Amino acid sequence: FKITHAAGDHLTATEDYAIAADFCNFDQNNGSLTHNCIYRLAAEETGENTGVFEGTVSYIMLNNSTAGGSISGEHDGNDHEVESHLSAISGDAVTVVLMDSGSGTDSIRVVYNDTDALQVATKRGAQLDTVTHTGTVDLDAGSYGAADMATITIVDADLNQDSSVRDTYQNSSTTFGVTITKSGSTTSTEPFSGTMTIIETEADSGIFVGTFLVPDRKGSDMELTYYESKDAGGSAVSYYDTATIQSNSGSISLDRSVYPVPFIAADLREGNNDKTGQDEAGKVVAWITVEDSDFTGDTLTTTTSGKAGSILVKLIEGSDTTKIATAGSATANAASGSTVEELGPLSEIEMGTSVYEVSMTIQYDQDGGASNVTPTSGDILQVEYVDTANDAGGTSTSYDSSTFDLRTGSLSV
């Protein structure tokens, strides 16, 4: 090692000088609680001729955090950077650095030599037991929705290593972390892509808070872990709090249970079965409604632009089922070739309701992709909605159906 001292006006390179130095040592690999150090307290007299001398002694606990690694908390908390905590080892206020609580012979002890009137020197001292604290960790809610702001709170006085500033810690494998696990999966991921920092609420509070945006992982479980360096019993333990990212089951419905059968232009007949000559086709408009509280925006989409939505519209003719439209894409597109019509995004009927709708026009010669189909009396119109995050956190499919029907009219004179 090398000792460097300030240059002096009367120091020469040809003389020998005595240097008094105190050495502090900690266990190299934390395998034990070895810690030997002398802290020199320069007590100051409270006033002239009082004979009363005062000084203050405080202590801090080392923890699992270090700024020496990229994933280790980014706080000079352990023995790797202990020198930053040994700046106050002399003067009228000293700070003792500890690795665990101490009592009896391990207590912090202040000793001074008292020379009495008979010139007899006697050691006099006082000591105080030190303690470690059991921390707590909490999420501010038991369930969250996607895009909610989640707040974590860690309370542990041992993390308050500098009472003059607000200490900060980053998430790591030795400090704290948040993971999200999808229902039915064993793979966990973090809810944020980078680092997260918790900050002390006040300079000497020992209460640390941090916030993060809850990702769109509906139906997943979220777990917050705090890696406690030393609890009140001196043991390294982990504490947890859990929450869920709430999901709700959605449903789909048609606006009518029975629709009239569409017809082509000039298909209406006179009493003698002659065509009327009218040129208006009898198209049918069906409204599709999806209700799903997991969606909170102005529109509901299930896929991105350029891809067909996952909401399906089908025509069932006896044993034959034909897809005649899709809905839920970010953009609407007309039928083309073997691709059926895309109805596009569903619009919220009233802000804040999570009820969305879109309409579809069904005609006599309806595009069915590979071939056209004609709805007739007794055929069934079916809609299908796949909910990828139901109230159980899984995937479910809901349906609704209506029939096409011809009704016998009546005439009275």
Most confident of the following: 78-82, 148-152, 184-188: 148-152
Do 258 and 368 fall within a single domain?
A: yes
pLDDT value, residue 382: 98
pLDDT value, residue 32: 67
Do 201 and 300 fall within a single domain?
A: no
Do 259 and 316 fall within a single domain?
A: yes
Do 218 and 270 fall within a single domain?
A: no
CA nearest neighbour of 176 among 150, 192, 197: 197
Spatial distance between the Cα atoms of 225 and 178, rounded to a whole number of angstroms:
6
Residue ending a domain, choose from 223, 245, 267: 245
pLDDT value, residue 211: 95
Is residue 223 a contact partner of residue 240, using CB atoms and an 8 Å limit? yes
Residue ending a domain, choose from 222, 245, 268: 245
Residue 7 domain-assigned (yes or no): no
pLDDT value, residue 200: 96
What's CA 58's distance to the chain center, in Å? 36
Spatial distance between the Cα atoms of 66 and 69, rounded to a whole number of angstroms:
7
Residue 345 domain-assigned (yes or no): yes
CA nearest neighbour of 246 among 93, 368, 143: 143
Residue ending a domain, choose from 77, 106, 128: 128
Do 163 and 108 fall within a single domain?
A: no
pLDDT value, residue 33: 64
Domain around 194: 136-245
pLDDT value, residue 104: 87
Mean pLDDT for 270-295 is: 84
pLDDT over threshold 90, residue 332:
yes
pLDDT in tens, 342-385: 999 999 999 999 999 999 999 999 999 989 999 999 999 999 99
CA distances from 147 to 141, 213, 269, 296, 402 (A): 14, 6, 58, 10, 37
CA distances from 67 to 98, 161, 202 (A): 18, 14, 22
Map tokens 């509906």 to a residue: 218
- Which tops the pLDDT comparison, 320 or 406? 320
pLDDT over threshold 60, residue 137:
yes
Mean pLDDT for 391-407 is: 91
- Which tops the pLDDT comparison, 366 or 268? 366
Q: Dihedral sign, CA of 208, 211, 216, 219?
A: positive
Do 108 and 208 fall within a single domain?
A: no
Give percent helix, percent strand, percent coil of the chain, each to the nearest 5.
5, 40, 55
pLDDT in tens, 192-248: 877 899 999 999 999 999 999 998 888 889 999 999 988 999 899 999 999 999 888
What is the average pLDDT score of the chain?
88
pTM greater than 0.85 (yes/no): no
pLDDT value, residue 54: 92
Do 124 and 163 fall within a single domain?
A: no
pLDDT value, residue 31: 62
The CATH number of residue 158's host domain is 2.60.40
pLDDT in tens, 119-135: 899 999 999 899 999 99
Residue 413 domain-assigned (yes or no): no
pLDDT over threshold 80, residue 68:
no
Within 10 Å of residue 73's Cβ, how many Cβ atoms? 26
* Non-local CB neighbours of 175 within 8 Å, separated by 6+ positions: 64, 65, 72, 73, 75, 169, 226, 227
Residue 385 domain-assigned (yes or no): yes
Q: What are the structure tokens assigned to 79, written together? A: 């023995």
pLDDT value, residue 85: 72
Ramachandran class of 200: left when φ > 0, alpha when ψ lies in -120 to 50, beta otherwise: beta
Residue 389 domain-assigned (yes or no): yes
Spatial distance between the Cα atoms of 397 and 210, rounded to a whole number of angstroms:
38
Do 82 and 226 fall within a single domain?
A: no
pLDDT over threshold 90, residue 72:
no
The number of folded domains in the chain is 3
Residue 360 domain-assigned (yes or no): yes
Do 238 and 258 fall within a single domain?
A: no
pLDDT value, residue 71: 56
pLDDT value, residue 188: 83
Mean pLDDT for 181-199 is: 83
Buried b (16+ CB within 10 A) or exposed e, 363-393: bbebbbbeeebbbeeebebbbbbebebbbeb
Do 314 and 391 fall within a single domain?
A: yes
84 three-class SS? helix
Mean pLDDT for 66-90 is: 69
